[in-house]
Structure 1
Amino acid sequence: MTTTQIGALDAHTLTEDVIRSFDDTPDARTRSILTALVRHLHAFVHDIEPTLAEWETAIEFLTAVGQKCDSVRQEFVLLSDVLGVSMLVETINDQHAPGATDSTVLGPFHMTESPTRQLGDTIDEFGSPDELLVTGTVRNTGGSPLPHATVDVWQCNEEGFYDVQQPDVQPAGNGRGLFTTDEQGRFWFRTVTPSHYPIPTDGPVGTLLEATRRHPYRPAHIHFIARADQHRPLTTHIFVPDSPYLDSDAVFAVKRSLIGEFGTGDAEQAAQFGVKIGSPVAAVDLVLAPPRSGSADVH
């Protein structure tokens, strides 16, 4: 490890000294990431020239973000979301998956395991009479169906709350389900139409939004993670058409391609899926890309 001669250090040579300290890092990718991190972070500090009090405030803020994380709440994911970093990562990775369904943010509430359910089951534990039927397919970019793919689903309820936000009201697993596609790559389940909702504002991310006069709302949506052997996992949403905040999502996650196709069920669908004629129906097509060369994201 390179050492710096005492007395020779200044604000400009410090960056290069820190970068040189990573010269013996065995893994090239780790070394590259740390080098870029230090270079950009130091450039940011040079740009804003924070006072010591501002630096201490930043450390306190990040400490508070970490302290707000627990087994069902991920405040760092939420911070990444509201700063647009999560969507930037998703968008960059989408460039390597031409023809696949657009991805979008994981969100802070995928912190609990979805219960395994059978095709056609409801994920609404309350038995609401206002059912939404979701039908979908999982296929590859060549158009072939992917049988035995898993589809992990989670959403908020009609009032805009996830089960983990209301442990005394909603049973664990409400609004969640893990499904396996049939031989034709199809899946279907029943649920309720989710509501738009505010992201949690009772932590430091909420303080940040308040300080910047930003609203905390997300348009109504259903989350999906689809996985199949020898394909890249897909994390995405379908958004409810005409939902408020489609044009101003607090986490920048709306893509036009992900605004869902919602209609009303006909007699054939009612007979096939056991829903009422005229009940809302959403169609979902999840297209998975092959793995990137050398990627560990293969199952």
Structure 2
Amino acid sequence: MYLINGELTENLAANDRAVQFGDGCFTTARACNGSIRFLEQHLARLQQACEKLLIPFVDWSLLENEMQQMAAVEQQAVLKVIITRGSGGRGYSAANCVQPTRLLSVSAYPAFYPQWRAHGISLALSPIRMGINPHLAGIKHLNRLEQVMIRTHLEQMPAQEALVLDSDGWLTECCAANLFWRKGTQVFTPYVDKSGVNGTMRQHIIACLAESSWQVTEVRERLDSLATADEVLICNALMPIIPVNQAESWRYKSHELYQFLAPLCE
């Protein structure tokens, strides 16, 4: 089901800037038992992205109401919200774009996530690297060709998710998830200030760990940092967290951090 500017339709204007230039941002939330998990964080993410992209979206109360209405009838589903700069003009100039477009959709919850949580997954290094762009890093803009290529390569490998490096070779994230690893009581996650996405679940986990006996640090590390990890896990707003059994040739048996975080992330 699609809701575009308040209308139930699948028709988006051909001159919408999302179609022409990927000019917009999005968030993907979990609808559960008629409500939206971490609703405030998802709205804050959209607001931050619109500010960064200079998209003059102001209808936040209306958007929140539409999100809640679409989630109200769902027991377990995926709610995606896209904000584009709207339609108008030709070329890169946004001078003639007056009204941003809001696009909401609901789809089925991935059936494999519960199995992943129960049994763990493996990660394989992607041959596709993320470009470095400090201005766009962290936000979920609509330019996702890197993720499309990462997923295309991943579908040819036996692993369930990808380990992704940036163009300088630093460990960054997964295809559709953020990455954490543990060494003793020290927990690490890659910086996303130059590349990657600052996911809502990533932010939530960092906040949870900051109030615990675990010590969490954002780092810039190479892939081989995972060789000496005691535990690895990945997260996003839908999973919400998944234990990792194997990354490349390295295997992990501990789920200690996962067991601590799992009830805090539901």
Same fold by TM (over 0.5)? Answer: no
TM-score after normalising by structure 1: 0.25
Greater Rg over alpha carbons, structure: 1
Q: Which has the higher strand share?
A: 2
